[in-house]
Amino acid sequence: MNQLPEIIRTIERVGADVVAKASTFQAAILSDVAGRRGTMHGRVAPVHQSMKVAGPAFTVEVRPGDNLMIHAAIALAQPGDVLVIDGKGDQTAALMGTLMLSACKKRGLAGVIVDASIRDKLEILELDFPVFSAGFNPAGPTKFVPGRINHPISAGGATVNPGDLVVGDADGVVVIERQKAPAMMALADKKVADEAARIEAIARGDTAAKWLPAALRAAGVLKEGETL
């Protein structure tokens, strides 16, 4: 049986047109139309609430506290890629800081998502580059332990395959499977239009949720024929 190499250099990425369209939506909209699947744990959050990212996932798996394979991934990733790093949620040491993230920006990456700690928060805020992490720690990492690049990973509790669509904003990060992403765009358009219509109705004074009575009856909270 042939074993896959630890580093996979060639991957199939979600289309640039899909990425461009996805970047116009909130992560929450995409999470809803994707059936609320693929959303990372809330611990993975933007360094600043204004940061947004969209692009194909370039996945990295590391051992807690070691960033050797992240350096390799920065060298291999293509412009527009989003580094998605499975750092096991570890917060005992930072996996990245200003130096590595500056290199990511210079190489044209779309952003970095780290399920682990990073450091140099104030400098990252000045870098003007989208970074999401599980926290901060001043301690530096080691660079000794092998890992894997462009294999399936779990980051923030979500499965991420190389080339999947990744979108992040102030609410967090959502991952949509590459093959399913194109079909999600039309659904997201409809979701946005439906929500805009509902907001207009609320502004006119129609604040009642028409689905609520039936849902309460189905849950056994209201009896048949009973209303709020």
Cα separation, 155 vs 153, whole angstroms? 6
157 is in an annotated binding site: no
120 is in an annotated binding site: yes
98 is in an annotated binding site: yes
Residue 126's alpha-carbon distances to 31, 71, 101, 130, in angstroms, are 29, 22, 12, 11
65 is in an annotated binding site: no
In the numeric block, the tokens 């462009």 are attached to: 150
User: 56, 164 in Cβ contact below 8 A?
Assistant: yes
164 is in an annotated binding site: no
119 is in an annotated binding site: yes
User: 188, 204 in Cβ contact below 8 A?
Assistant: no
Radius of gyration of the chain, Cα coordinates, nearest whole angstrom:
20
Binding site for Mg(2+): which residues? 120
Binding site: which residues? 97-100, 119-120
Binding site for substrate: which residues? 97-100, 119
